[in-house]
Amino acid sequence: MPYVVDTIEVEPRCLAPYLEVVERLGVPVMTDAGAAFVSCATTSTEIDEKVEVQIVWGFDDHVHWNVIRKNMVLDPRFYEYADRVATLRAGGTRRFYYPAPFSPR
């Protein structure tokens, strides 16, 4: 299973609101679109720098990912989610990862 890994930077004061938006809006939109929610983790708020939030989604292949993308843009909730997280984030990346052959499945 490939993964989409979103690594988002937020100011420490924005962490709790960001996680709330992801949990209440992002997870339902993404899972309803067909993505598998794998995990969400953060770095510390106690080291006086921006916090990174890592959100991992699983999918079958790139054909499946294109279906997920189509389903997201057809869902009005996606636009509310995108607007809300955009106001809280300071930066970030999205990368596609593929398990190494020796990785557990």
Residue 105 pLDDT:
74
Q: Tokens for 93?
A: 């990346």
* 102 falls within a domain: no
Residue 48 pLDDT:
86
* 105 falls within a domain: no
Which CATH number does the domain housing residue 59 bear? 3.30.70.100
- Nearest-5° Cα angle at 31, 69 to 27: 105
How many domains does one find in the chain?
A: 1
Burial (Cβ within 10 Å: 0-12, 13-18, ≥19) of residue 88: buried
* Residues 24-83: tens digit of each pLDDT: 999 999 999 999 999 999 999 999 899 999 999 999 999 999 999 999 999 999 999 999
71, 85, 77, 67: which is closest to 21 by C-alpha?
A: 85
Give the confidence band of 104 by pLDDT, cuts at 50, 70, 90. Answer: confident
Domain residues for the domain of 81 are 3-97
74 SS3 class: coil
pTM over 0.95: no
What is the enclosing helix (H) or strand (E) of 86?
Answer: helix 76-86
